[in-house]
Structure 1
Amino acid sequence: MASSHPLSASSLFSLKGWVTVVTGGGTGVGLMTAQTLAANGAKVYITGRRFDVLETSARVHGSPERLGPLGGSIVPIEMDITSKDSIRGVVAEITQKEGFVNVLVNNAGVWAGRPTATAEDGPEAFSEALLAESNEDNWQKSFNVNCTSQYFVTAAFLPLLAKAASGPTGKVGSVINNGSVSGLLRMTQNRQFSYNASKAAFLHLTRQMALELSHEKINVRVNGLALGYFPSEMTTGDSNDENESVASDEQFAAFMKGMGAERVKRMGTPQELASVILTLATNDFIWGTISIVDGGMTLTVPANM
């Protein structure tokens, strides 16, 4: 049988023999990412706190029928990214079973709320609404889940990622941090201050880790994604029996128009996410970047690209 051309998609993006980890991999963008990696040959460990959700996603989307002839597998494994003990336990298990990790995708995240009043309500009402936000259940939770925990997860997986280069693929380990365009916007997206600030911190953490982990004694690539809106439980409110979310283009277009982003008329698709995930995972010449994948949102609203 003739081999594939070295510049064909099947050659460029084959992940056969790869071991990958996706946090928050049971639904939404995490599930899209896991499907992408597994469909191209990788063994994908999906983590999260809801093991029943992970099991369903692995069973439905990790089946040979879904993944196709070039597919790998999806393995559910419970992990709370806010618990160092939980993280260490998963790292120990994957170390014993695999000995290396090619790609870690830090995807898990949380949205914790917004103040109930707006600037249009005047200084007194707006001040009270801002002060009424919970420190622990909103601000601290946002930063803990969306930034701090990603730091500790990456730290724990670092020895496995560093061993990727000497593994079967011969490629250096890679971290992909799933941030958000919310971390680049000067607009608040209807006053979601804590979420946007935590995502901005995560994107800057990505830049810092990219530099530190590029050291010759570690040699791990770190890149980030600044994603716009993709269907997920966070953006649509729910998911179906297969843990996938579906967006209404009409409702979303109206939502975008209300924020002054009329150019963006729909959410992103799994295919549009998959192409950038595969590029960041396989291209050893990409180090320390933040890829904006948002349908043009940051072109039309106040943002720092």
Structure 2
Amino acid sequence: MGQLEGKTSVVTGGSTGIGLATAVRLADEGAYVFVTGRRESELEAAVKTIGADRASAVVGDISKAEDLDRLYEAVRARGKGLDVLVANAGIAAFVTLEQTTEEHFDQTFAVNVRGTLFTVQKALPLLNDGASVVLTGSTAADRGMEAFGAYAASKAAVRSFARTWSNELKGRGIRVNVVSPAMIETPGNTAVVGGEEAMRAVRETAATMVAKGRMGQSEEVAAAVAFLASEQSSYIVGANIYVDGGVNQL
């Protein structure tokens, strides 16, 4: 029996990368998983990967209130509330201060900050007492990486949310924590850095910068999320768990 047997979970941005790996891991631990994302074909493929008897897909953009409402209506219809919410959906792009436009700033904060806030807020009526909320942050929030200012600031906001919401929800026994990855090999990150050739250069950099000597895998982040989602982490509240191979720690 898995450590999430009989639980109901939601993973936003669950069609690829860290989100998909997390959805698979939660399902392997016994949870039923609702995955959401913007691309229907990728969501359908994700459900096949997770297992059609263990998952449902709801197409949606977390920056749109009506899409979040549709997601949670599907969860409500299942009739078992919500035990695990993984607010993972996010976007990133390398844009310097000089290059930053109102459109880039607004889009980044609409998804990463406003979208995360309302993903959690709209889930509140469904969250069972003792539920776990896991937010996907980033080690970028702690670093001054060039051309990543808006993204880093948005993830710093996510980390701040976890502290505030932990206090606001502690009366219901709901724990809120953050997982902050760095240098994880995903399709999304390959696109952000500029394609496969650029990703090869990142891999080479990781081999020298990261204590583990390599980039991380989505499944390694998913393992941390599963831990925070389970009762094994029952005394961890408002924390930020780094999954970075040591790059931010050493």
The residue type equivalent to 1:35 in the other structure is V
Give the whole-Å Cα distance in 1 for the aligned partners of 2:99 and 2:226.
43
Deviation of the 1:155 alpha carbon: 0.4
Q: Which amino acid aligns with 1:191?
A: A
Q: Does 2:24 align with 1:32?
A: no
Cα root mean square deviation, aligned = 2.5
1:210 aligns with 2:166: yes
1:23 aligns with 2:4: no
Asked if residue 141 in structure 1 is aligned to residue 99 in structure 2, the reply is no
Q: 1:114 to 1:44 in 2, by over 3 A?
A: same
Match runs of 1:140-289 below 5 Å: 140-161=106-127, 164-165=128-129, 172-185=130-143, 187-188=144-145, 190-214=146-170, 216=171, 218-237=172-191, 251-256=201-206, 261=209, 263=211, 265-283=213-231, 284-289=234-239
Contact 1:178 1:224 in 2 (8 A): yes
CA distance in 2 between counterparts of 1:18 and 1:112 reads 35
TM-score (norm 1): 0.74
8 A Cα contact 1:103 1:175, kept in partner: yes
Distance 1:250 1:16 in 2: 39
* Structure 2 residue aligned with 1:123: none
8 Å contact 1:231–1:247 — kept in the other structure?
no
The Cα of 1:264 is off from its aligned counterpart by 5.4
Name stretches of at least 5 consecutive residues in structure 2 with no aligned partner. none
Q: Note closer, same or farther for the CA distance 1:248–1:40 as it changes in structure 2 (3 Å cut).
A: farther
* Structure richer in strand, relative to its length: 2
TM-aligned CA distance change 1:91 to 1:249, over 3 Å: closer
2:70 is equivalent to residue 89 of structure 1: yes
What is the CA deviation profile of residues 159-179 of structure 1, one whole-angstrom value per residue up to 9, with x for unaligned ones? 111xx24xxxxxx11100011
Aligned pairs, how many?
A: 246
SS at match of 2:180: strand
Q: Secondary structure at the match of 1:141?
A: helix
What residue identity is the alignment partner of 2:23?
A
Larger radius of gyration: 1
Query: Partner of 1:139: helix, strand, or coil?
Result: helix
Q: Return the alpha-carbon distance in structure 1 between the equivalents of residues 177 and 99 of structure 2.
A: 36
Identity %: 30
Q: Which amino acid aligns with 1:110?
A: I
- Over 4 Å off, 4+ runs: 246-250
Q: Distance in 1 between matches of 2:51 and 2:3?
A: 17
Structure 2 residue identity aligned to 1:55:
E
2:79 paired residue number? 98
2:213 alignment partner, SS class: coil
CA distance in 1, matches of 2:76, 2:197: 38
Shift of residue 131, structure 1, vs aligned partner: 3.6
Return the letter of the residue paired with 2:248. Answer: T
Partner of 1:62: 51
